[in-house]
Every structure is written in C-alpha cells, then in structure tokens.
Chain A
Amino acid sequence: MSDNLARVLTTEPLRPDFTERSGADERRHIEIVSPSTHTRPRVVYALSAVACVGAVIVAQLLLSVGISQGAYEISALRASQVELGRTADSVSEDLIRVSSPQSLAANAEALGMVSNSTPAYLRLSDGAVLGAPTSASGGAAGAASLVPNSLLTGVPLVTQLPAGGQGTSVASGAPAAGTAPAAVTVADGLPSPTTR
C-alpha cells in the first residue's frame, strides 16, 4: 500500500542566507529634493485642465451645431424625398394607364393594325403549315371603347400627338415628318442577323 503524503526530501537549508547582502544596504544615501520642481508643474496642470474643459465645451458646441445643421438637412431631404416620391407615383400611374389593354388596342387600331382571329403556324422543322391561314379582316373600329377605362379620358392617341412635340428623341430619330419610310426591298431572302 502506498500513501500520498508529501515528503520533504531535500536536506538543503530552506532559508536564504542574509549575511551576504547586508553590506549593500549600508551604501544607500538620501538627497534633499528641491521644492521648486513641484510648484511649476501645478500651473501647467491647471492650464491643461482648463484647456481640456474648454475643448470639451467647444467640441460639444460644434457637435450640437453639426447635429442641428443635420436636422435641417434631413428635413430638407425628407421634403425632397416626398416630392420625388410623388413625382414617381405620378409618372408610374401614367405609365400603367397607357399600358392598359384599352390604350394599346386603341393605339394599334389608330395605326391601322387589325387582329387575325384565324391562328396558323409554320413549323420550322419541315416547313409544314399548321392550321388554315386566312387574311385578317378589319375589326370594328373603336371596339376598345366597349370596355371603358375612365382613366384614359383625355389621353391622346399616338396618332393625335402633335408632330415633334413629344420630346426631341422622336423628332430627331424619325425621318423628316411627312415622308413615307422607304419600302423594304428583299434581295436575298428575308434579312436576318448574322450569328456566329
């Protein structure tokens, strides 16, 4: 059986030997501290403390000036955000209105388009014609008005817009007003984009 008691195995003395260092203590000496070196720093401390307080006050003042300046800026930005929001709402309302089916149908009719109620398909794989193609007959003009939309009251059709009045891009992009666009000539089959 073993026990777990700690045992001191060393036989060396545990206490340090004091006799060797007693000679060094005798050589310490005491100096008189000059009083003038204590008085001068006191003024510096006082000044710097005052300066710090001053700096804090100034900083706080500047900060609060900055914050209230920011408040005006926020207020102005908020106002302009509201205004811009209103403009965005207004123009998107206009956009949705003119993209309604009534508006599109009325404009297409005004441009002379008619819908064909006989569907037919050309199958690209073998060129087969599916369905029985017939030419479209002109639908009843003004049929779009059968499904009213009071939001479109007073909105002019594309054909009723004053020439060149709606933005310069239309005026400059289109050929001279009044001249019919040149007929497309087909030389080598239908024009198609070049793909690589």
Chain B
Amino acid sequence: MSSKRRIAATIVVLVAIIGVFVVRLVDIQVVRADTLSADSLGNRSVERTVYGSRGEILDANGVVLAGTVMRYDVALSPKNASPFTRTVDGVETTVPLAQSVADIGAIVGLPTEQVQALITEALADNPKSDYALVARQVGVDAFRALSALDIPWLTFQQNPGRVYPNGAVAGNLVGFVSSAGEAQAGLEVGQDSCLASNNGSETYERGADGVRLPESTVTTEPASDGSDVITTIDSDLQFFVQKVLAEQAQKTGAAWGNVIVQEVKTGKLVAVADYPSVDPNDVSATTNPEDRGSRAFTASYEPGSTFKALTAASVIDAGVATPESQVVAPYRYLPENGANINDSSSHPDLNLTLTGVLIESSNTGTSQFGERLTNQQRYDYMTKFGVGTETETGFPGEDPGILHPADEWDNQTQYATMFGQGLTTTALQVSSIYQTIANGGVRMPVQLVSGCRAADGTLTDVPAAEGTQVVSAEAARDTADILEMVYQKAWLADTWEIPGYRAAAKTGTAQMPDGNGGYSKGYLVSVSGFAPADDPQYVVSVSLADPVNMNSSAAPAPVFQEVMSQVLKKYRAVPSGAAAPDLPGTW
C-alpha cells in the first residue's frame, strides 16, 4: 500500500470518529439538554415551603390577643412501623415497637392503645399505608421530645398555629380559626383581609450529605406576612368586666348577658364582655355554638325602659317638653287611638315631671310625652340615634335590629316604641344611644378596630371619626341631668352608688319573646349609664337575660356599679367636685 492511500484511510477514520463525537455532542448539549439538566437538578434540588405568618390581633395597648406560632403535625408510616436500632454513644440498642408506641403516646398525650390502633387500622385498610396522622399542632417541646426519640418512621410537618395568650379574655370578639387555619368567627373573620398571609416557596440544591450548596437558593414565590389588627379593647379591663359579669350571671342564674364599656368622646369600645363566652384556645369546651360569638353584636331584643332616655331626648330637642314639664301618670292609660298602656305595678295617679317619669320609669307618663311628637318624627330621631342599622364596627354577623317604618306601626306599637317595646336593638345600639346623650348630642361612630397596621408601621382602614349631631347640646344636657336624677333617686340608688362620683343611669326590664310570637316569663334586665355626670367619659351598659334568681334590674345594677368604679379608677377620672343639679320629680 502506498503511503497516499494510508493517509487517505487515516483521514476517513478520523473524520468518522470526529463525526460520531459531534453527533453525540449535539445530542447531549442541544437536543436533550433541557431534560438532562432538569434531571440532574432534580437529583440535587429541594423545594421548601416558606411560611408567612398570619397577622396578630392586638388590644389598644399592644397586648397580643391572637398570635401565630409554629406548630408541628406528627405522622407515622404504618408500613414501616417496626423495631429499629438506635445508636447512643456508639452502643446500638434495638427499640421494640411497643416501646416506641408508648413513648409517642406519652409525649403527644394519647393512650398507647390508641397509637397502636392507629397503626393496625391503617394497615388493615391498606397494607402499604405510608401515612397516618398521630397529632396535629404539637408544641415545640413535644416536637423536640419526639425528634429525640430518633424513630425513623416518624415524620413532622410544620403547620403554623394560632395562639390566644389571654384565653377567654376578648375571646368573644377575637374569634378563632380552624385547625387548618381557616378563620371561623369574630375579628378573625371580619378582619381576614388584613390578617391573611401567603405562604411562599424556595428551592435550593443540596449535596449528597444534605448540606445546602452555596449560592443555590432560588425564591420561586416570596412569602408575605399578614398585617396586624389593632382593636380599641383594653385587655385588662376586658378581663375584669368579663369576670364581674360571669360572677353575677352565675349568681342570678342568667341565661346570658353582656357588658359594654364605651368611650364617650370617641365612640371607641373599651370592653365588650359576653357571658357565656369562649376560650379560643379550646373552642370545643364551649358546647353551645351560640355561646362562641358575641351576643352584644349579634343578638337584638326589645330594650325596654333604657329606651325612655331616647324618647326624653327627642321631646326635649323638638321643644315640646322640658325636664320640668308636668303630666298626671295613671296606672293605666287609654289613648284615643285604642291602645292600652299599663305601668309595671299598680299605683294611684301620680303628678310627675318628665324627670319624675324617668325616675319612676312610668310607661303611661312616657306615653303622654311621646305622643306630643308624630310617629314619623320619633322614627327619624330613632334612626338618627342609630336604631335599625348596624353600627360601624364591621363585626361579622352584626344584627341591625328591627325597626319597622313609622307608617307600619299599629296602634299599640305607636306607644310601645316610646318605652322600648315593639322594636329591637342590640346592646351595642343602646350603648351608642347613651354615648350620644353623654356627648352633647353628638353620636360618634362605634369603633372596635382602630386600624390595620402593616409591617412598616403604616395604619390603613382607619375608621371614620366624624360625629353627627342627633339632638342639640342643650337637649342632651337636659336629658343627662334627668338621668343623673334617676341615678340619685330611683329605687336602686343605694345598689349602684359610687361614692364620690356623680353618675347617670337608667334601668330597663323588657319582656323576652318566647320564640312563638308571644312573650315568655323571662325578662331581659339592663342598666345603662355614664359617668362622671359633670363631664361624661365612659358609658357602661349591662344586660342580663332571664336571671331566674332575681328577675329585676337589681340583677345588673351591682355589675354596673363595679364596672363603672373600675373604669373610673383605671382611667383616673377625678371624683366629681361640683354639686349635682336638683330637678323636681313631682309637682
């Protein structure tokens, strides 16, 4: 063979080999590049959930009423549940299944048999079962104890949980979330758009020994934390009020009750207590679902005589009566339209002033004043006082109450609405009526939430703080004076006396519906008032439903006294200096 041929053959072989390489190179680097690199990344890369934390619910002073904590769901793999070897200080010991099961049960607080049953049932269902939930949302301490057991078939999943450090304090308002993190009640639902967080995710690459490779973290979706809800509640006062209410409600055998403390000048709710109430940490302990919310917002009822303050303010503002205006109040009053009005107990004809009518809480006297206005006029005053519409709190499920238009009132209702029957209000609306009277006739929007605070401190959703003039300042002052006379001279004067302070208050005893269109034997008894009377600062409104052991407004009066004393003490209201006015009740 000539050398030319050899060279030619070599070149052909070389070109062929290079050709094979080129084809292979193009195949790997271009044709299958994406699949291969994805495969290789998949072997190394790990995806992880980054949890955003749900916002907190705070009281007016920054005390946490609801917060987010990291909790752990514990699960086991039934098919792998078997004895395993544990190495402690180089010594290998075999841990039998029974002991592992007992250890797990002891830490999560389940009986050993129940954990064992979990495994056997899961295996009976599906012999290849790889997942059985042992406990949801265990705390850090239990999680650490469980991981220290080193059981290879026990797994943990992070699951952010909700914690309510103050328990039942404001539990009626704050509400609660389900174990899956879904808002269920109260502000948790009402403010969900502010509180809600978003979980994000990140991927990173890790080496064979599980160590994260430097510079490999990629955030695929950023997590975002929720904002905080700032309420107007004072948690210390709320605790005190709830305690006093519960004590008295149990003593008097009341079915339920509530207390509202509201700031006169701003309309802010400082405390809203309900009995019975809920501890959001342990919702199932409150068996009746109706007891898990706040009836102060969601239950409306006929307010009864506390409503007479609104009628008095209306007639004074309209100029048809003064605190000294005189009527003769009989036991039974039969107006021309055919209605039939009785007082609560039999009495001879009384010569009463408007002040005296409220002191004696006379229905017949109130009727004679109320009829000086047209139905439409009184209806307009009621709506301006906030009756018949939800307050501005935005609390979920708030009841607007029932107020029929004036032209739908029948003959009896025309008179009944003067003294708080024939219409319904929530405890909150009654409190708001007294706030208006105490605040020179200016009704402030009722506030429960003062805003939604983002992480950078900006406050959004701040409620409106513009008041509306419902009655003139003089009419409000006159009505307040009348209520102060009631506080001084009514039959409960000794029960609700706060030494050193001037206060104003009115009782109410309303029949409760029996649910079949009639009235039951139970009464809803209430006291609403404000103090100090010379410069009103706080409204306290107490309601007790059907206190079987004491079916009169003597039941809520001690609660009013204790709560109002505490409020005055807490907010350092100076004892009243000036003497109270003295309005005649009779003539």
Contact = CB atoms under 8 A, between A and B. Distances in A.
Interface of A: 67-68, 70-72, 74-75, 78, 86-87, 89-90, 93, 96-97, 99-102, 105, 117-121, 130-132, 134, 140, 143-144, 146-152
A153 to B, nearest CB: 9
Contacts, number: 117
B36 to A, nearest CB: 24
Interface stretch (B179-187, B239-247, B365-373, B507-515): B239-247
Contacts of B562: 117
A97 B165 contact: yes
Contact of A101 (B70, B144, B164, B169): B169
Contacts of B139: 90, 93
A155 to B, nearest CB: 12
Nearest to A90: B140
Given A71-B211, A90-B139, A90-B140, A118 B565 contact: yes
B285 A150 contact: yes
Given A89-B69, A140-B247, 16 more contacts: A71-B212, A72-B211, A86-B140, A90-B141, A101-B166, A101-B169, A102-B239, A118-B498, A146-B246, A146-B247, A147-B239, A147-B246, A149-B279, A149-B281, A150-B167, A151-B164
Contacts of B498: 118
Contacts of A102: 166-167, 169, 239
B569 interface: yes
Contact of B168 (A71, A118, A119, A148): A148
Nearest to B577: A130
Given A90-B141, A149-B281, A75 B166 contact: no
Contact of B279 (A75, A134, A148): A148
Contacts of B247: 140, 143, 146
Given A140-B247, A143-B243, A131 B500 contact: yes
B167 A100 contact: yes
The 7 closest A-B pairs by CB, nearest first: A149-B167, A132-B499, A131-B500, A101-B239, A119-B569, A146-B246, A150-B282
B159 to A, nearest CB: 14
Contacts of B168: 147-149
A195 B282 CA distance: 52
A147 to B, nearest CB: 5
Nearest to A120: B500
8 contacts: A71-B207, A75-B211, A89-B69, A90-B140, A119-B575, A131-B500, A146-B247, A147-B167
Contacts of B277: 147
Nearest to B280: A150
B140 A146 contact: no
A150 B239 contact: no
B566 interface: yes
Interface in B111-137: none
Contacts of B70: 86, 89
Contact of A147 (B64, B165, B243, B250): B243
Contacts of A74: 212, 214
Residue from B141, B243, B250, B279 whose CB has the most chain A CB atoms within 10 Å: B243
A150 B69 contact: no
Nearest to B242: A147
Nearest to B236: A101
Contact of B169 (A71, A147, A150): A147
A96 B569 CA distance: 25
Contact of B566 (A90, A117, A131, A140): A117
Nearest to B561: A117
